[in-house]
Structure 1
């Protein structure tokens, strides 16, 4: 088992650089494997963009792996995104993890010039083009449905070979099969319940077997929105308020996904995630400030993680 922690991204007033530097340093001291961001290009939550935040984090850390989950790659140009990810990987000396997804039908694809009827194919081809850009070949030639690239020089290359680890999400069987084919790991969304995650893990494991991939190297993780408090009701109130800051108040079922309560409550909830198949748990406090999330990180490290199986 390994445990990662979310990197606070909210910027309501003024970026708390001193607080974030201390948060990242403490995350390394506490032994977390990684620090992760998320992407919300369109939304009411004032988030610092994930790759820019990871570049900042790279300069503040030496050991912590740096992840983003998930990048909605259909909303990005594949070659430009591959270039930006390469930069973060090189700035961090090979510590980048990349979660990718097509975003589902609810995304405002028209605002990004993407056809709703073909967004899944656009996503798949984009990942293939990114991998071509990361290959050892000095030039890229790629003739696809949406992109036509002929002997285009692409430098530099990522430190991690053949590319930074790709994590894929999803719950639908077809999406999970596609993810196992394209990626190196599976990360259950924070917006999914533990029971939904458990069913997805079963499908992922079946696909790993059927596609002949190495089950020992294909990682499985889950983001878990979490709040620890000695007052169970207050924990619930705070975690729901945090989820509404991220997703708004109209997302159906979002209040069913967090793990909250006393340390013992949170231990039980996280053990259920582990039992469902996670070998990496991404703990995601949802405070409005870096200080609030720092307090949660300290409590999780001291009172929860030592009790997990």
Structure 2
């Protein structure tokens, strides 16, 4: 079992506090969490700092903590630029970077990024091929539908060889099967925070079935889950607060997303987290949407001991 905390990214204009950010990351590291993760949302009304920039700052604030993003919506990026950014992060952190990737789904504002909405899945996988080849090969020749490279090189390569661990963030059965069965690409599946534990368990079964069909050892393919969480001695207050924060984050009320979130007393949270672990999670990413520092303390001191840590 591994446990991670989210990196605080929600800061309105002028509200970011460098000292508080540094103190939070240092404390998360001292409390023994495995890693800290950012997320990407380029367009949206809720103020949110970019993931790569936030990860770079976090790397300077820590020494041991692994750092990741789940997920980069890589369909909306130039793969050469994104590959360079991730390789640079891995170098300055001395090999502590992990990267999750997702297509973004059909509802993304593709027009704002110059992306053909009818070809976003093909663009996603072609972009990943470009990135991994730039990381792994000294010179790249590539003739694709979206990108063309002639004797292209990228230096320095990532600190981790051949590249940082790559996670797939998706939900559909076909997408999960393809990610699990594509050799040499993804090293794990990261379940979304909006997915209920029951849906996550179904996704894990799909991944493991695909791994078996492909002849890939299940133990070599990690399984993780983001969990939106609110810990409070007043369970009703915890539930009301997290539901309000989720509505602000997703700009709508969603019964399924609210059902996926865990809220309540430490004992109640531990009980539901046991269910997430039983569904197949090797890594749980705690994502409190308010008071992240307070949650890190309560999770480490009152919840994780109930999970056998």
The TM-score range, normalised by the shorter chain, is over 0.9
Q: 1:301 to 1:44 in 2, by over 3 A?
A: same
Following TM superposition, by how much is the alpha carbon of 1:175 offset from its aligned partner in structure 2, in angstroms?
0.5
Aligned Cα RMSD in Å?
Answer: 1.1
- TM-score, normalised to structure 2's length? 0.96
Superposition pairs of residues 170-249 of structure 1, within 5 angstroms: 170-180=170-180, 181=182, 182-249=185-252
- Aligned position for 1:265: 268
In 1, distance between residues paired with 2:284 and 2:73? 21
- Aligned position for 1:274: 277
Q: Aligned to 1:116, what secondary structure does the other structure show?
A: coil
Q: Does 1:71 align with 2:84?
A: no
Preserved CA contact (<8 Å) 2:103 2:170? no
In 1, distance between residues paired with 2:139 and 2:154? 6
Q: Deviations over 1:222-260 (max 9, x none)?
A: 000000000010000111122123211255632221001
Q: Deviations over 1:187-207 (max 9, x none)?
A: 100111111100000000111
Preserved CA contact (<8 Å) 1:169 1:179? no
Stretches of structure 2 that go unaligned for 5 or more consecutive residues are none
Q: Does 1:286 align with 2:289?
A: yes
In 2, distance between residues paired with 1:199 and 1:15? 39
Stretches of structure 1 that go unaligned for 5 or more consecutive residues are none
- Aligned position for 1:93: 94
- Aligned position for 2:169: 169
- Aligned position for 1:139: 139
In 1, distance between residues paired with 2:245 and 2:216? 38
- Aligned position for 1:121: 122
- TM-score, normalised to structure 1's length? 0.96
Following TM superposition, by how much is the alpha carbon of 1:268 offset from its aligned partner in structure 2, in angstroms?
0.8
- Aligned position for 2:10: 10
Mean CA deviation greater in 68-77 or 162-171: 162-171
Preserved CA contact (<8 Å) 1:6 1:36? yes
Preserved CA contact (<8 Å) 1:9 1:37? yes
Q: Aligned to 1:4, what secondary structure does the other structure show?
A: strand
Q: Aligned to 1:216, what secondary structure does the other structure show?
A: helix
Q: Deviations over 1:78-111 (max 9, x none)?
A: 0000000111111110000101000110001111
In 2, distance between residues paired with 1:54 and 1:172? 28
In 2, distance between residues paired with 1:196 and 1:95? 30
In 2, distance between residues paired with 1:16 and 1:244? 25
Q: Deviations over 1:264-299 (max 9, x none)?
A: 110011000000000101011111xxxx11001100
- Aligned position for 2:301: 302
Following TM superposition, by how much is the alpha carbon of 1:172 offset from its aligned partner in structure 2, in angstroms?
1.4
Mean CA deviation greater in 5-14 or 62-71: 5-14
Preserved CA contact (<8 Å) 2:227 2:262? yes
- Aligned position for 1:108: 109
In 2, distance between residues paired with 1:240 and 1:66? 27
Following TM superposition, by how much is the alpha carbon of 1:138 offset from its aligned partner in structure 2, in angstroms?
2.0
- Aligned position for 2:35: 34
Q: Aligned to 2:141, what secondary structure does the other structure show?
A: strand
Mean CA deviation greater in 220-229 or 11-20: 11-20
